[in-house]
Amino acid sequence: MKNLKKWITSPTGTIALFVLAAGLLLFSTIGSAWAALKYFSEIYKGHVEMYDIGVELLEKSDPEGEAERVAWRTYKQNTQDEWDETPGEDHIGVLLANMLPAKEGGEEGEKEELVPGKHYFEEISCRNSGTIDEYVRITLYKYWVNADGEKVFTASADDPITTQGLSPALINFTFPYLGSDWILDEKNSAETEERQIYYYNKLLKAGEDTSATPLTGTLTIDQLVGLKVNKEVSDDGKTITVSYKYDGWKFCVEAAVDAVQDHNAEDAIRSAWGRDVTISNGTLTLKND
């Protein structure tokens, strides 16, 4: 660890944080959810002290509440090689735990059933928990897991319900500040349906967050999921049994936030994220050629 710190604080060191939070919901009830994180370093000409860097992933599921951190990692100043990070052996946190309201008249902790087609309030944002200014991006991953716990792949969004399963296109977010504060990286997002990458186009100063201009606004599962049913008619034709084809399936949403120092930011972003950008007067734009 001391060798790593020595290398990071050398003139050839740069540091970027990566925080990952993943949410998992059942069709009818809220299931387990987890968040994990790590950090990585890349090489470019620059200098940053290890204790300067920090980033947190924030979530707000209640319109009347405050954005709360669900995963974080920040180097603690004046300590020996120590990080303030999500607690637990695997540094696991929780995402989407409060998206569904409590079930009226239900047992403690019991949630309402998830309704396809309903818009659920779900704001995802981030905070600079370090002592230097940063540029950040958030990557969203969306996919399905079948009743056997297997991740499902489909052909394309043009055929969202196929014999292979369900498309990520049926998991829909709204983006209230897309185009003003957030930019979709269409070039890299086009590589797979599951992943979309969004850049915050302003410098995020130390201690500040993006909760006033969150990346997402609502989360909705397309009602097409609930319309796909199986019907069985009894031999006498008097009884019809209807069941949902995808009962027991789960949808998964992951949100990952990266933070890169503002010093020599264009080179730092190219090194850490492999992306060419232009920064003018603090505003970030993507190069797509």
In the chain, what are the domain boundaries? Answer: 2-286
Report the alpha-carbon distance of residue 267 to residue 203 in Å, rounded: 15
* pLDDT tens, position by position, 176-228: 999 999 999 998 887 777 899 999 999 999 999 999 999 999 999 988 887 76
- Which parts of the chain have pLDDT scores under 50? 1-14, 27-49, 163-164
DSSP assigned state of 168: G
| 145/152 Cα distance (integer angstroms) | 6
Mean pLDDT taken over the chain: 77
Residue-level pLDDT at 92: 60
pLDDT value of position 88: 72
Q: What is the pLDDT of residue 240?
A: 63
pLDDT of residue 154: 65
CA distance 3 to 228: 57
Q: What is the pLDDT of residue 6?
A: 37
Expressed in angstroms, the distance from the first to the final Cα of the chain is: 39
Q: What are phi and psi of 169, to 5 degrees?
A: -65, -15
pLDDT at 140: 93
171 in the Ramachandran plot: left (φ > 0), alpha (ψ -120 to 50) or beta? beta
pLDDT of amino acid 11:
33
Instruction: Report helix, strand or coil for 3.
Output: helix
DSSP 204: B
pLDDT at 229: 61
The predicted-structure confidence for 249-262, as pLDDT tens digits, reads as follows 888 888 888 899 88
pLDDT for the residue 266: 95
Task: Say which residue the tokens 């002592």 belong to.
Answer: 131
Distance CA 50, CA 67 (A): 27
